[in-house]
Structure 1
Amino acid sequence: MQYFILSASISSFILGFFGVSWEDVDEKIEDEFPAVEFISVDALQTQFQSNPGQLPLIIDVREADEFAVSHLAEARNVLTGIEISKLVQDKTSPIVVYCSVGYRSAAVAAELEALGYTSVRNLRHSLFEWADKGLPMENLQGQTSLVHPYNRAWGSLVKEQLHSYTPE
C-alpha cells in the first residue's frame, strides 16, 4: 500500500506541472490496476434513488481532512484494504470505494481483491465527477456542494468554484 501512496504522490507532483485530463487518469488506472472493476457515478446515483435500503458498503478512502469537506451519504472513511477487511468479514459483500478521481480508490480496490473480496467496485471519476454533476454530498454541517481539490493537478478536474480546503 505504501508503494501505491508513493506512486500517487509522485504522479500528482509530475502532473501538477504538466496538467492532467480524465483520459490521463483513466489510462493510469487501467495500466496500474487492470483487474479493478468500476461503477459509474450515474449507476451509483440510481442505486441511491431506487434502492436506498440496499446500498453497497460505500467507502471513502481519502484522508480525514478531505472527508470532512464533503463525502457521499452513508460513506465510511477507511483508508486501506486491510482496515476495510477488519470491518467486513463477508468477502462477497458489495463494496464501492471512491476517492477524488478514482486512483487511490483503485489501489484500495486492488488490495481488497488481493485479499479475496469478490464484489468490489471503484467509483469511476469518483467524488469529482459526483460534485461536478451537482449530486448530493454532505459533511458534519449538512448538505454541501464543495469538495476538497486534493492538489492543484487533480483539482483541475473539478470546477474551481466547488473547491474548498475546509468544511463550510
Structure 2
Amino acid sequence: MKTAQQLVAEAKAVIQEVSIEQLAAYLAQHPAPLLIDVRESAEFSQQHISAAINYPRGILEMQLANHPAVAASGCDPEVALAQLAAQPLYLICRSGARSALAAESLQRMGFTQVYSVAGGMQAWLAANLPVQA
C-alpha cells in the first residue's frame, strides 16, 4: 500500500513543476493565462490568484470541457479541449501536492504543457505576491 506522500512523489517524478517566480513572470506576460486552482471551493473563495479558475481536484477532469477557453472557441467541444491541451496550463493548490497529482492526470489525458506550481499558494503568499479575496 502506498501513502499519499508516495503518490505525490511518484507524480512529481513524471511532471513538470514551476516556481512561483516562474508563474508570476508568466502571468505578467500573458493577458489571458491558463491557470487552474485545484483547491476546494471554500479554500479558493478565501483568497486566490486573480487569473485563476477554480476546478477542485476531485472534479477537474470532468470540468475541463467547461473551461472558458473551450467554451469561447466556438469549436466542437472535443476539438476545443484538444486545443486547450496543447497550450501551457498551470495548476496550483495549497502546497503543490494536489496540483502535482492533477498534472499527472492531465498528462494521461493528453495535455502536453501542464505545469504544477511548486509550493502552491503557501509559497505564493509567503512571497507576498498578489491575491484576490
* 1:82 corresponds to 2:62: yes
Describe the SS at the equivalent of 2:94: coil
**Match of 2:22?**
43
Does 2:111 match 1:117? yes
Give 5+ residue unaligned stretches, structure 2: 71-80
Aligned runs of 1:1-168 on 2, under 5 Å?
8=4, 29-49=8-28, 51-53=29-31, 55=33, 57-79=34-56, 80-87=60-67, 88=70, 89=81, 90=83, 91-139=85-133
Query: How many residue pairs are counted as aligned between the two chains?
Result: 114
Fraction of identical pairs, as percent: 25
Does the Cα contact within 8 Å between 1:59 and 1:98 map onto a contact in 2? yes
Q: Which has the higher contact order (CA 8 A, sep 6+)?
A: 2
For residues 95 and 110 of structure 1, the distance between their equivalents in structure 2, rounded to whole angstroms, comes to 12
Please tell me whether the aligned partners of residues 106 and 114 of structure 2 are also in contact (alpha carbons under 8 angstroms).
yes
Greater Rg by CA: 1
Distance in 1 between residues matched to 2:13 and 2:65, nearest whole Å: 22
Uncovered stretches (5+) of structure 1, i.e. residues with no partner: 1-6, 12-26, 140-168
Contact 1:101 1:128 in 2 (8 A): yes
Question: How well do the aligned residues superpose, as a CA RMSD in angstroms?
Answer: 2.0
In the TM superposition, what is the alpha-carbon distance from 1:48 to its structure 2 partner?
A: 2.5
